[in-house]
């Protein structure tokens, strides 16, 4: 397939809480594709009714839909059914990575260290608080099971604040869990497929000017100091990069991802999550890590686009002949 001759549809917007980030990512990707002389078109989705009519106008999907059905594998299943090549990970990898509890269970099964956690199971709040205290302790972190951009995340240092935070997260995002707070350096590692091989990009150390790397710190210029490469010695860096590659492969990711982790004060790394559709905004981590590896934004976008060549599903009509 000659991608230069194909119509590349950049999907952006959507209905998730990360809509604004998606619009920024999509615009940047669209502009990069134009600079690389691809036939790119913007597809801003404002309702689910618009998805199939817009797909009929393009040949290849470059999705920048963060969160919700754009990131949990739902739309990727539709792309597969309709026979549209698309960039990045497939249905299963997206679904697993979007569900932080399933991700952590896979980390454990692969011998990859992750922060201990407890899952809320619709129990009495007093019982729940006691269980968190006994199994995790304080400080701890309340997280939605399936949400991105640190939305709904609360760091709890005072046990009297736990139930209120849990109820708040539950009200907005339904399912949630609590994991042990790991004090140390906040790191992220981009994974990129280049020339047929996965590579871990230089580590980024995040030093937010807020309590943690939350939505505001992620997407507001000047609210986070980025140290690239991270201030981690060479041997530990290589160990963490291998750990992140292992996590990427364990979930079945394809082409690119971003792996978030904490380097604890005892110098042990703890994986947090894997993002199969990382942001492509001006403050996003994957483009920053690629730049540190000598890969400019336009070249990064092109490498991401090339992953569509590794998956060319057959339309149902052809598959059933």
149 is catalytic: yes
72 is catalytic: no
258 is catalytic: yes
Those residues with Cβ within 8 angstroms of residue 74's Cβ, 6 or more apart along the chain or in another chain: none
31 is catalytic: no
Give dist(CA 28, CA 288) in Å, integer.
Answer: 14
273 is catalytic: yes
260 is catalytic: yes
Catalytic residue (one of 80, 152, 279, 285): 279
24 is catalytic: no
Catalytic residue (one of 71, 80, 179, 273): 273
Give dist(CA 317, CA 311) in Å, integer.
Answer: 18
Residue 150 burial (CB < 10 Å; 0-12/13-18/19+)? middle
Residue 320 burial (CB < 10 Å; 0-12/13-18/19+)? exposed
Catalytic residue (one of 68, 260, 284, 311): 260
Catalytic residue (one of 28, 257, 275, 284): 275
Catalytic residue (one of 28, 149, 257, 284): 149
Catalytic residue (one of 219, 255, 270, 284): 219
DSSP state of 174: S
Which of 229, 215, 152 lies closest to 185, judged by CA?
229
User: How would you classify residue 202: left for phi > 0, otherwise alpha for psi between -120 and 50, otherwise beta?
Assistant: beta
Catalytic residue (one of 258, 270, 285, 311): 258
Catalytic residue (one of 13, 14, 16, 18): 18
135 is catalytic: no
**Residues with catalytic roles:** 18, 149, 219, 258, 260, 273, 275, 279
């Amino acid at each position: 397939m000659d991608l230069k001759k194909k119509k590349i549809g950049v999907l952006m917007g959507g209905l998730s809480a990360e809509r604004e980030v998606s619009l920024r990512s999509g615009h940047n990707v669209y502009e990069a594709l134009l600079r690389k002389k691809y036939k790119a078109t913007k597809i801003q989705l404002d309702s689910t009714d618009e998805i199939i009519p817009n797909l009929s106008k393009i040949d290849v999907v470059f999705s920048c839909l963060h969160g919700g059905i754009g990131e949990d594998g739902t739309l990727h299943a539709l792309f597969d059914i309709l026979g549209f090549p698309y960039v990045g990970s497939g249905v299963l990898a997206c679904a697993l990575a979007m569900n932080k509890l399933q991700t952590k269970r896979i980390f454990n099964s692969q011998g990859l260290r992750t922060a201990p956690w407890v899952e809320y199971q619709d129990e009495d709040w007093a019982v729940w608080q006691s269980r968190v205290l006994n199994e995790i302790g304080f400080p701890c972190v309340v997280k939605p099971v399936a949400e991105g951009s640190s939305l709904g995340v609360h760091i709890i240092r005072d046990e009297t604040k736990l139930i209120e935070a849990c109820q708040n997260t539950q009200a907005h995002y339904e399912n949630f869990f609590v994991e042990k707070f790991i004090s140390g350096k906040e790191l992220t590692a981009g994974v990129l497929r280049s020339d047929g091989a996965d590579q871990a990009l230089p580590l980024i150390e995040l030093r937010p000017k807020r309590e943690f790397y939350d939505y505001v710190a992620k997407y507001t210029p000047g609210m986070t100091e980025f140290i690239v490469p991270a201030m981690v010695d060479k041997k530990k860096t290589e160990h963490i990069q291998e750990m992140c590659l292992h996590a990427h492969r364990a979930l079945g990711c394809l082409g690119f991802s971003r792996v978030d982790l904490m380097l604890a004060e005892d110098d042990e790394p703890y994986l947090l999550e894997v993002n199969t559709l990382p942001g492509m905004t001006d403050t996003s981590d994957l483009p920053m890590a690629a730049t540190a590896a000598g890969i400019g934004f336009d070249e990064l976008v092109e490498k991401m686009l090339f992953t569509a060549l590794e998956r060319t599903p057959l339309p149902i009509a052809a598959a059933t002949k």
